[in-house]
Copies of this chain bind each other. A is one copy, B any other.
Amino acid sequence: MAALSTAVASGRKKRGEGHTRREEILQAAKELFLEEGYNATTIRRIADRVGVSAPALYLYFHDKEAMMLALCDQTFGRLIERITDIENTVSDPLERVRRFGDAYARFGLEHPDEYRLVFIGNNIPESVRKVGHRMPIDDPTRPGVGGALVFTRLVALLSQLEASGVKLNYPPDTCAELCWMGIHGVVAAMIMKPEFPWSNRELLIKGMQDIVIRGILK
């Protein structure tokens, strides 16, 4: 049964093209994480979808968590893009804050796994830090900092709001914390308890939005 023994379309990458395989892995991992969640996604299924053996993934990623973290940064980069977009297209400082909250909440609900990982935390077995692995390909973009960046942007927006003459009930960073905590509460709740009969999503997002903005304005 060795029909067509040669030219069997080996998926092997040429020299120097390993990074494309790395991106194929990320793509497959992303699909599976989103389809079935992090825990339910196995290394083998990712490898199957890519079309390589399971250990091949370890040529490009330290471990399973590293794949998720890489995806997180990739995805959070898009959120930061959106925020930058808002800053570039919206001039009114208060409207900027509003749009930030909206983009943030929507992003969280569209990417629950990434959101959980970065903002809800500790989902991944980080406690067991192993040593002595290899991880031959060192990726330049250190993962795991996307979350703090987003928050920093919100603080900046609220400082601008205050600088524009709007009186706040708290210092800008406290306002940012309260705004973020409120919206985060909505997103975290809906992500972590999706089976609970929450009220309408849009109503809750807009409601919290209104509440925190009313609450920080003097």
| Copies of this chain, whole number | 2
A174 within 8 A of B: yes
A173 contacts which chain B residues (CB < 8 A)?
199
Complex Cα gap A174–B180 (Å) = 19
Give Cα A171 to B204, complex, Å.
11
Most buried by B among A127, A151, A169: A127
Cα distance A204–B40 when bound, in Å?
35
State which residues 164-192 of A face B: CB under 8 Å.
169-171, 173-174, 177-178, 180-186, 188-189, 192
0/1 interface trace, chain A 18-58, chain B, CB 8 Å (1 if under): 00000000000000000011011000000000000000000
Contacts of A182 in B (CB 8 A): 181-182, 185, 208, 211-212
How many Å from the CB of A206 to the closest CB on chain B? 10
8 Å CB contact of A123 from B36, B123, B185: B123
Collect the chain B residues with CB atoms within 8 Å of residue A208's CB.
178, 181-182
Residues of B within 8 A of A214 (CB): 211, 214-215
Query: 10 other contacts beyond A120-B192, A122-B122, with CB at 8 A cut-off?
Result: A39-B123, A120-B120, A123-B123, A169-B207, A170-B203, A178-B204, A181-B188, A184-B189, A212-B215, A214-B214
Question: Residues on A close to B: CB < 8 A?
Answer: 36-37, 39-40, 116, 120-123, 125-128, 147-148, 151, 169-171, 173-174, 177-178, 180-186, 188-189, 192-196, 198-199, 203-204, 207-208, 210-212, 214-216
